Amino acid sequence: MPDPSGYDGFSRLIEGPDERIDLLRSALEIASPEYESLDAGRYVGRLEELAEELRPRFEETADGQAQLGCISRFLYDEKGFAGNSQDYYDLRNSYLNEVLERRTGIPITLAIVYIELAARLDLDVRGVGFPGHFLVKCPAGGETIVDPFDGRILTQEDCETRFRAVVGDALPFGPRYLEASPKRGILARVLGNLKHIHLSHNDFERALGCSHRILLLLPDDPGELRDRGLLHARLECFAPAVADLERFLLFAPEDPAAQAVEAQLSKLRERAYSVH
């Protein structure tokens, strides 16, 4: 089972208010269990070099939307960054060091590159936890929305079409789906993507490691408490499983899964208390 103390570096990086979190270094730290010699400073430096290369022409652009276009042309047309549509579920697409090395990834990791490059050019770009596909937006550009998978600017109509493709017609589309995500939410979504890939490979220990870190970010998230509890149970760590599932029921007693979890808890308590 993963040792939670192995995530001390990640825990330190996400301390304090959300706005003070170093998104780039925290995202790089997510990769550290898989890359023991990972030098985060090297990749921070690489992004800073990109910013300095772009800066002269960026500063000639007049407004937020034009500046977004400048960043998109630089990243996608000149530097060859692109969404990895051929192997979307490759784990490397979620590790920011690999994204910067290979210049390919999934929407959320490419969004982090976009956000952090813009920040080094003093442009405020924020992540948007849109259903099914992470986006970015720029308040200075009239809330202009960009798809970080390919750098394309999206209209409101484009966003609604994508929304309907994911959720259907049952829910009304509205501004709340285009609200900015906090940094903790962005990092949790990266880890959630990794967790689901590990689960698809039946790699329960790595999935548990992702769940540990999500709960460092979002300590009282009921769904994640449930997931971590079930992963603990799968790995026969019965006492932690009981603790997590009891907290899940405390926070979400009306959840559709609550009855099934309660039934499982009875069995897990017996096993937790019978193991010496």
What is the reported pLDDT for 170? Answer: 86
What is the reported pLDDT for 258? Answer: 95
What is the enclosing helix (H) or strand (E) of 56?
helix 40-58
Match 């800073």 to its residue by tokens. 48
What is the enclosing helix (H) or strand (E) of 128?
strand 126-128
- Give the type of residue at 10: F
Which of 53-67, 107-121, 222-236 is the least confident region? Answer: 53-67
Residues in the chain: 276
Contacts for 258-261: CB closer than 8 Å, 24+ residues apart = 261/226, 261/229
pLDDT digits (tens, 9 = 90+) for 157-214: 999 999 999 999 989 999 999 999 999 999 999 999 999 999 999 999 999 999 999 9
pLDDT score of 276 more than 50:
no
What is the reported pLDDT for 271? Answer: 87
Per-residue pLDDT band for 69 (boundaries 50, 70, 90) equals: very high
Per-residue pLDDT band for 5 (boundaries 50, 70, 90) equals: low
State the average pLDDT for the chain.
94
Following CA atoms 168, 141, 179, 122 in sequence, which dihedral angle do they give, to the nearest 10 degrees?
Answer: 140
Give me the mean pLDDT over the 66-70 stretch. Answer: 94
What is the reported pLDDT for 3? Answer: 59
What is the reported pLDDT for 4? Answer: 59
The whole-model pTM stands at: 0.94
What is the reported pLDDT for 2? Answer: 61
